[in-house]
Amino acid sequence: MSPNSLTPAVEQQIVASIRAGCYAHVAAEAAGISREEFLVRLKQGRAGNAPTTLDDFVAEVRTAQAQARFRAEILAYEQDPLAWLEHGPGREMPRDPGWSGPVRPHDMSVHEFNPLAHPEVMQILNDFLSALEKHPDAHVDMSLKFESLFGTTRAPTPKTQGEGHDPPLPPLAPAA
C-alpha cells in the first residue's frame, strides 16, 4: 500500500461517489483504491493518533454516508410513504408502536423476564429477609410486602426452585 495512493483528489472522488449513493468500498475501488487498502485507511483514521488529513477523510466518509442515507429516506418517504412507514423510521418496533400494523395486545406471559426465576435474585431476596431477622418490625413489613406481591413470604431458595418443592412464582405484574 502506497502512502500517496489516497490523494486529496482520490478522496474527493470517493466521498462524492458515496454521497451519490455508492457503497464506500465500491466507491474506493472505482477510484482505484483496493477494498483492503480503503478499509485499512479507515481503521487508521479512526485511531486516536491518525494524521489530521486521514482523520478528516474518515469524517467526510461518515458524513457522505449519512447524506446518502438521508437522501434515500426522503425519496422513499416522497415516492412510497406506505413503504416508508412499514420499513423506515415509522415502522413498528417491539416497545414502540408504529404505523405498520394493527395494534396488538401486550401478552405478559410471552417473552417476559421474571427476575424471581433467577437463582441469584432469589438468593439475594432470601439473604435480605435473613438480614432483617435482626429487625423484627422491618422483617414483618417486608415479609408482608413479599406476600402481597408474590403470594409468598419467602422467595424460594435456588436449590429448591425447579425441583418441584416450591410452586413457581407468578411473573411480576405490570404497574397499574
Confidence of residue 134 (pLDDT cuts 50, 70, 90): confident
pLDDT at 28 exceeding the cut of 60: yes
Q: Where are the domains of the chain?
A: 8-87, 112-176
pLDDT at 137 exceeding the cut of 80: yes
- How much helix, strand and coil, in percent to the nearest 5, is found in the chain? 55, 0, 45
pTM over 0.75: no
Q: Please answer whether residues 171 and 112 qualify as being in contact, where contact means their C-beta atoms are separated by less than 8 angstroms.
A: yes
**Residue 24 CB: number of other CB atoms within 10 A?**
20
Burial class (CB in 10 A: 0-12, 13-18, 19+), 120: exposed
